[in-house]
Structure 1
Amino acid sequence: MDHRRALALEYAEHQYLRTRVQGLANLPGNPHGASLHGEPGCGAFVVAGNPSPMMNRVHGDCGQQAGSLVDLIQTCAAYAPAIALIAESVKVAPALDLQGQPLQRLKGWTHGQLFAPLAEIVAPPSLLDIEPVSDSTLEDFCALHGESFNTPAAARTINQAAFGGLLNEGRGYLYLVREQGMAVAGAALFLADNDVAYLGTAFTTKAARGQGYHRALIVHRLQQAAALGAQSVGATALVNSQSRRNLEHCGLRLSHLQTLYRAVP
């Protein structure tokens, strides 16, 4: 594992997720109870209206002292935030002690983090018509996202607001693929301020899976990232998933594993 690259990728992912929560916090009256803590590159974000670890997280691997991380966990304790840590091996520890604060691993939340310098990737052109999402088509994107992930209705409103915040921030980009006018696949791209382009969420309708849409969206985002001036690209996928295989087919390689933990009450 290249530790410098691993930290750069963790930072880019954290910034992508934090920016979505920042969008929620910026809404008039902050209806979803979103808040941000600590420094932007080394802090935490929480959302009272959504308990998902995607919305409630402490950035663990950022060079910050363990005591400061414990302070963040305790400050946000009411939201039970996850803390993202780089796993040293495939044998992920089920429990850890962070300066006296016991942590328990979240089952199902160990992922592969993939990385590549964009200069080393030669992405073939996509033959699909991939459209950028705008304010007028954001609802289509979010409806497809909710359908693909079976998101509860209560969480869909929050997700749409978060993706809207990502678009409005200026470094977030969303894309849709349509067939015969119907949205069948979508994906996100975020340009972190460390020149790493993070390939965010990607999804396809159940009926359209296996037809190459996911891979085409990877290629398109790689091309967009290069055009926007990014130097490297990162992405997250389950280790044994088709998503990982698609990312590796397009030139990304496994950097390290990331595991989410949560404080033991």
Structure 2
Amino acid sequence: MDVELAHGIEAAESEYLRSRVERLAAVSGNPYGARVFSNAGFPCFQVKASPSPMLNRIYGDIANEPQAVLKLLNESAAHSTVTPLIGTPSALKPSAFVGESTLERLRGWTHLQLVCAIEKAVLSEHSFEIEEVTSQTHALFADVHAGGFHTRPEHRLLNQASFAGQTPDGRLKLYLLKAGGAVVAGASVYLASNGIAYLGTAATRKDARGNGYHGALISHRIKQARQHGCHWVAATALAGSQSRRNLERAGLTVSHAQALYRLADR
């Protein structure tokens, strides 16, 4: 494992997720209770209205300053906060012992991080209609995303707001893929400040899967990242998923595994 590159990928993912929480915090009155804060230079974030470990994370130097991470996990345990640990898949055990505390791995939240130098990516040709999301089509993106990830009705507006609006740097790009004039898939890419293009969320309507839409969206986002001067492209996938196979066809290879942990007995 290239430790420096692995940390860069983790930083890019964290920046992407933090940008979504910042969008929630910018909603008038902050109805979702979104908060972004720092742990000795490591950005952390939480959303009181959401139980998702995607939006409730504590980061820090767990090897050298574990107590700072443990303190924040303890203080925010009511909001389902987690911390990511990385390594080889076999190294990420069900429990991790940090200081005098025990962390437990969340079931279903161990993923592979994949990466490749952007000039070595293998791009596929396709004839699908792909367009960047605008304020007029944002709801369509949110709808296909919510359907793909089985978002509960009570969390759909929150999820939509986490992708809404544009930051001045314009690092988050959203795309829709249409077939027969109808939206069938959508995906995001985050152009991180460290030069890594992080392929964020991607979703395809259940009745439209198996038609190559995900692969087309991978290629399209890599092309866009090249145009914006990114040097690497990275993405997350479950080990046995079709998403992993599609990413590997595009030239990405496994960098490391990431698992999410929370304080035990919470």
Q: How far apart in 2 are the matches of 1:86 and 1:48?
A: 26
For 1:243, the equivalent position in structure 2 comes to: 243
For 2:161, the equivalent position in structure 1 comes to: 161
Secondary structure of 1:59's match? coil
Q: Please state how far the C-alpha of 1:28 moved relative to its aligned partner.
A: 1.2
2:37 is the counterpart of 1:37: yes
Contact kept in structure 1, 2:192 and 2:198, CA below 8 Å: yes
The letter of the residue matching 1:238 is L
For 1:13, the equivalent position in structure 2 comes to: 13
Secondary structure of 2:163's match? helix
**Distance change >3 Å, CA 39–CA 184, structure 1 → 2:** same
Q: Please state how far the C-alpha of 1:74 moved relative to its aligned partner.
A: 2.7
For 2:120, the equivalent position in structure 1 comes to: 120
Q: Please state how far the C-alpha of 1:44 moved relative to its aligned partner.
A: 1.4
Secondary structure of 1:57's match? coil
Q: How far apart in 1 are the matches of 2:41 and 2:190?
A: 15
Q: Please state how far the C-alpha of 1:57 moved relative to its aligned partner.
A: 1.0
Q: How far apart in 2 are the matches of 1:215 and 1:236?
A: 14
The letter of the residue matching 2:190 is F
Q: CA RMSD in A?
A: 1.9
**Distance change >3 Å, CA 89–CA 147, structure 1 → 2:** closer
Secondary structure of 2:136's match? coil
For 2:214, the equivalent position in structure 1 comes to: 214
For 1:28, the equivalent position in structure 2 comes to: 28
More moved, 164-173 vs 233-242: 164-173
Contact kept in structure 1, 2:124 and 2:216, CA below 8 Å: no
Q: Please state how far the C-alpha of 1:125 moved relative to its aligned partner.
A: 3.8
More moved, 166-175 vs 238-247: 166-175
The letter of the residue matching 1:199 is L
Q: Please state how far the C-alpha of 1:39 moved relative to its aligned partner.
A: 5.4
Q: How far apart in 2 are the matches of 1:220 and 1:248?
A: 15
More moved, 63-72 vs 82-91: 63-72
Secondary structure of 1:248's match? helix
2:188 is the counterpart of 1:150: no
Q: Which ranges of structure 2 fall in alignment gaps of 5 or more residues?
A: none
Q: Please state how far the C-alpha of 1:169 moved relative to its aligned partner.
A: 5.5
**Distance change >3 Å, CA 251–CA 46, structure 1 → 2:** same
- Once the two structures are aligned, what percentage of the paired residues are identical? 43
Contact kept in structure 2, 1:61 and 1:84, CA below 8 Å: no
The C-alpha deviation readout for 1:71-92, integer Å capped at 9, x for no partner, is 3223322212011110334253
Q: Which ranges of structure 1 fall in alignment gaps of 5 or more residues?
A: none
Q: Equivalent residues in 2 for 1:101-120 (5 A)?
A: 101-120=101-120
TM-score (norm: length of structure 1): 0.94
Q: Please state how far the C-alpha of 1:61 moved relative to its aligned partner.
A: 6.5
Q: Please state how far the C-alpha of 1:252 moved relative to its aligned partner.
A: 0.4
Q: Please state how far the C-alpha of 1:165 moved relative to its aligned partner.
A: 4.4
For 1:46, the equivalent position in structure 2 comes to: 46
**Distance change >3 Å, CA 86–CA 141, structure 1 → 2:** same
Q: How far apart in 2 are the matches of 1:152 and 1:239?
A: 25
Q: How far apart in 2 are the matches of 1:118 and 1:214?
A: 18
The letter of the residue matching 1:257 is A
The C-alpha deviation readout for 1:122-181, integer Å capped at 9, x for no partner, is 424432110100111000000111111111011110011000146676100000011122
Q: How far apart in 2 are the matches of 1:132 and 1:164?
A: 13
Runs of 4+ in 1 over 4 A off after TM superposition: 60-64, 165-169
TM-score (norm: length of structure 2): 0.94
For 1:170, the equivalent position in structure 2 comes to: 170
Secondary structure of 2:58's match? strand
More moved, 84-93 vs 102-111: 84-93
2:203 is the counterpart of 1:203: yes
For 1:192, the equivalent position in structure 2 comes to: 192
2:80 is the counterpart of 1:80: yes
